[in-house]
Amino acid sequence: MKADMIVGIQWGDEGKGKIVDLMAQNYDVVCRYQGGHNAGHTIWVDGVRYALHLIPSGVLNPKAINIIGNGVVVSAEALIEEMKQFEGLLGRLFVSDKAHMILKHHILIDQAKEKLRGEKAIGTTGRGIGPSYGSKIERSGHRLGELRDTAKLATSLVEFYTENKALFQALDIITPDFVTLKAELDGYADVLLPYLADTTQMVWKFLDEQKRVLLEGAQGTLLDIDHGTYPYVTSSNTISAGACVGLGLSPKDIGKVTGIVKAYCTRVGNGPFPSEDFGDDGVKLRDKGKEFGTSTGRSRRCGWFDAVACRYASRINGCDDLSIMKLDVLDGFPQIKICVAYEINGQRVDTLPEDLENAKPIYEEMPGWESVVGCRKYEDLPQSAKAYLARLEEITGTKIGLISTSPDRNDTIIL
Ligand code: IMP
């Protein structure tokens, strides 16, 4: 059996939550493989609101097993808080003991460094993601498995704080002493130790047993540390290849890859966004699409569908198809723009350039439509909406497999 995957195609917030929630009903196992509690989506089930940041969406399918892979960075505090929303997680949630921890000093360093960057700030979520991955790559990080010996872990951390005293002083960060630290780590260990596992072996076993496994990407392709709009990116590999590393799978274990993309485009934080609309349309997209971050509440920058970036993202992820989310947000726009190429220094560019900062969008305009809200059949879509979707398929070179016409799970067209 191969594992299927969903991956964000833009700068995150594509509406992956709705699709994973929908798909998770049909999978035995749902896995996260990168990112941390910088991600977030809200799912409503029977009038109850669930906020998910770290726990895979399969938690809302009582029969599904949920795995947080080694590639995720885990704030024990955030995970424990999130777990409180659910009962009976033991045996249904497993966390890799190789996953690196986000410790309090990572969060403080993230926030302090953003302040120091001033105008050049990345606009991080301030959750300690970059510093935790930084420690991992620098080989000074700590894995969740180390919670099995909290005295040793606390000793090692206190040594680290002492060795890096100058850095912490410069950033105005007060580090905890051994006793405080050990007590905090003991609290985490008490809750989390029963959930720690060798999740790589588990996923291999599930695949061998012909179980259906879904891999849930967080953030989006253009935030990938290697292939996104560096340095305005997150610190993990958000593309499909990241799932192999973040879970311990081989490329041969991967089955279908579905790219999730909004019918328009948004971005939170700083960095290039050629098709951003600074006028009334941008405001209208933000208000209609309720474009405010689930994790941080920040308002998102809004603009038109960037077909060049989508074509790039589709290729790099190996997307079998695309799910087009929030088509209904485009209702009522007389004209809808698609960014089909860029202009840089007077030249037309058809591929994603290194110099995205200086790229001006070249738009194609298509007639809008009145309403697609709640449409559940492709035949019922207005002609101009069908034409828009057909054009997206044509320019991105990827077929559309699903269209979402409202936040409701059922308002979905499956092609
Ligand atoms: P970090 O991941 O907190 O380090 O933030 C780095 C960049 O990624 C910032 O621009 C964030 O706004 C963005 N980012 C991180 N997580 C998400 C997400 O889940 N959705 C959208 N943007 C995100």
Q: Can you tell me the mean pLDDT for 378-391?
A: 97
In which band, very low, low, confident or very high, does the pLDDT at 407 lie, cut at 50, 70 and 90? confident
Supply the pLDDT for residue 298: 86
Supply the pLDDT for residue 18: 87
The residues of the chain that CATH labels 1.10.300.10 are: 100-194
Q: Can you tell me the mean pLDDT for 209-213?
A: 98
Tens digit of pLDDT for each residue in 310-354? 999 999 999 999 999 999 999 999 999 999 999 999 999 999 998
Q: What's the CA-to-centroid distance between 230 and ligand 1, angstroms?
A: 12
Report whether pLDDT(36) > 80. yes
Is 13 an annotated catalytic residue?
Answer: yes
Q: Which CATH superfamily is domain 100-194 in?
A: Adenylosuccinate Synthetase, subunit A, domain 2 (1.10.300.10)
| pTM listed for this prediction | 0.96
Q: Can you tell me the mean pLDDT for 51-63?
A: 93
Is 106 an annotated catalytic residue?
Answer: no
The residues of the chain that CATH labels 3.90.170.10 are: 3-75+200-414
Annotate the chain with three-state secondary structure: CCEEEEEECCCCCCCHHHHHHHHHCCCCEEEECCCCCCCCEEEEECCEEEEECCCCHHHHCCCCEEEECCCCEECHHHHHHHHCCCCCCECCEEEECCCEECCHHHHHHHHHHHHHHHHHCCCCCCCCHHHHHHHHHHCCCCEHHHHHHHHHHHHHHHHHHHHCHHHHHHCCCCCCCHHHHHHHHHHHHHHHHHHEECHHHHHHHHHHCCCCEEEECCCCHHHCCCCCCCCCCCCCCCCCHHHHHHHCCCHHHEEEEEEEEECCEEECCCCCCCCECCCHHHHHHHHHCCCECCCCCCECEEECEEHHHHHHHHHHHCCCEEEEECHHHHCCCCEEEEEEEEEECCEEECCCCCCHHHCEEEEEEEECCCCCCCCCCHHHCCHHHHHHHHHHHHHHCCCEEEEECCCCCCCEEEC
Please tell me which residue in 37, 41, 100, 106 is annotated as part of the active site.
Answer: 41
**The ligand 1 atom nearest the CA atom of 110:** 4
Tens digit of pLDDT for each residue in 348-357? 999 999 889 9
Report whether pLDDT(134) > 80. yes
Q: Classify domain 3-75+200-414 at the CATH topology level.
A: Adenylosuccinate Synthetase; Chain A, domain 3 (3.90.170)
Q: Can you tell me the mean pLDDT for 275-290?
A: 97
Give the percent of the chain with pLDDT over 70: 100
